[in-house]
Chain A
Amino acid sequence: SILPLSPFGSLGFHDDMFQPFFEMIHQAQEAMEPHFHRPAFQPLGKDFTKEVPDNRTVCKEIRRNSTGCLRMKDQCEKCREILSVDCSANNPAQAKLRQELNDSLQVAELLTQKYNELLQSYQRKMFSTSSLLNQLNDQFSWVSRLANLTQGDDQAYLHVSTVSTHNSDSDTPSGATEVVVKLFDSDPITVIMPEEVSRDNPKFMDTVAEKALQEYRKKNRE
């Protein structure tokens, strides 16, 4: 038989039913996380293939095999002159081939730069997926907590214990309404409603409940 459905429709599941979900989300986060700390995953900077990379990269190249020094050839006049030696008089074929080489080299550098930009976009997708997994875990924690809190038959999740309006002598803005509520298993939560939202306003209690829930959830995260 179907149990009478409460007018509020409680969540109707145990919080430990989410345990397998949490385990899977944590596995997914683990699959994502460690890579971010590997050198290969340092955010791909613009200089990944740029002509003049950052100093750190040049130092690394100099230490590794001295190729970093060749990037400084433009600072030496005789080195520059080598690049402008023209052999076409003696061998036209060589000059033509060298031009072809330079042209294809420029295309390859351009395509490498474009590829690097795409890699950066792909890496950003990775970061967004990682952030969504964290949000999923957080939201599941909240729903799982609610599952725990709504096990009982009492569907009155929120109890208003006192309502008081304030005149000018208190530190609460005058004309404001102070509502003290208990939400689920919480300690009393005090919500201050501004004068503009009076108790006659149909949205009054929705706003009180919304503020109380935000406070409760914040405490729950802490």
Chain B
Amino acid sequence: DPLVSDSELQEMSNQGSKYINKEIQNAVKGVKEIKNLIEKTNEERKTLLTTLEKAKKKKEDALEETKDSELKLKALPQVCNETMMALWEECKPCLKQTCMKFYARVCRSGSGLVGRQLEEFLNQSSPAYFWMNGDRIDSLLESDRQQTHVLDAMQDSFNRVSGIMDTLFQDRFFTQEPQDTHYFSRFGLLLRWPHFLYPKSRLVR
């Protein structure tokens, strides 16, 4: 537009550059904001870990109590054996048929081996295992094992990340608070680490 003079273009450029410069300083602040968010998330994680450890203790106490009850029950003479064995002989074929039908329909892979394995498993199992909910107890113990594995693996990751972040955030790039965003030290050009924000007093000294 011929109406816009060179001096006006220059003034617009200056204004635009001022804005860009502000945004540049915001970009540096943005790094610090993310750092603060990482530290905040890490504090929340540590609090959550404490809660997890308490919950794990309660869960494992309950599991111990369950296993104790199961042991005491197993120690008692079985008084309903005949009844249970009779029922078991009729339960097994139904269970096998139901399971193999499910497996063929849903799991879509060879059921020959699985069928023999199941036959062996049922012949080795006793109705008392059922009657004492042995399957539910074993399922809980399996969950406990998996949960322990998952937490250990997550902890391993977090410990390594926390160590690296602690080292990174100790650098003065992060620890110096800007006294005034216009006082960016040109000293930064000479130093290995970008400690470009110094309080004025440091500059005077």
Interface residue ranges, A against B (CB under 8 Å): 2-3, 5, 7-14, 17-18, 20-21, 24-25, 27-28, 31-32, 35, 38, 40-41, 44, 48-49, 55, 58-59, 62-63, 65-73, 75-79, 81-83, 85, 87, 90-91, 93-94, 97-98, 100-102, 104-105, 107-109, 111-112, 114-116, 118-119, 121-123, 125-126, 128-129, 132-133, 135-136, 139-140, 142-143, 146-147, 150, 155-165, 179, 181, 183, 205-206, 208-210, 212-213
Contact = CB atoms under 8 A, between A and B. Distances in A.
Interface in B102-127: 102-103, 106-107, 109, 114, 117-118, 121-122, 127
13 contacts: A5-B183, A11-B28, A12-B186, A59-B107, A63-B107, A63-B114, A71-B135, A72-B99, A82-B91, A82-B127, A105-B140, A158-B17, A160-B9
A2 B34 CA distance: 31
Contacts of A3: 186
B139 A67 contact: yes
Contact of B161 (A11, A31, A93, A121): A31
Majority DSSP secondary structure for residues of B touching A = helix
Contact of B83 (A13, A21, A85): A85
A107 B62 contact: yes
Contacts of A206: 15-16, 19
A210 B59 CA distance: 55
Interface in B25-41: 25, 27-28, 30-31, 34-35, 37-38, 41
A112 B103 CA distance: 27
Contacts of A44: 150
Contacts of B132: 98, 101
Nearest to A55: B106
A108 B63 contact: yes
A20 B15 CA distance: 35
A132 B34 CA distance: 7
A11 B16 contact: no
B146 A48 contact: yes
Given A91-B77, A129-B45, A213-B23, A101 B194 contact: no
Contacts of B63: 108
B19 to A, nearest CB: 4
Contacts of A112: 59, 140, 143-144, 147
A2 B203 contact: yes
Contact of A123 (B34, B127, B154): B154
A125 B58 contact: no
Choose among A55, A68, A112 the residue with the greatest number of B CB atoms under 10 Å from its CB.
Answer: A112
A12 B130 contact: no
Nearest to A36: B157
Listed from nearest, the 10 A-B pairs whose CB atoms lie closest are A76-B94, A59-B107, A69-B99, A13-B194, A158-B16, A101-B69, A79-B91, A205-B15, A90-B79, A31-B160
Contacts of B12: 160, 163, 179, 205, 208
A84 to B, nearest CB: 9
Contact of A73 (B95, B102, B146): B95
B164 A79 contact: no
B150 A41 contact: yes
Interface in B134-188: 135-140, 143-144, 146-147, 149-151, 153-154, 156-158, 160-161, 164-165, 167-168, 171, 173, 181-188
A125 B19 contact: no
Given A78-B94, A90-B80, A101-B66, 6 more contacts: A7-B182, A32-B161, A79-B94, A91-B79, A108-B65, A183-B20
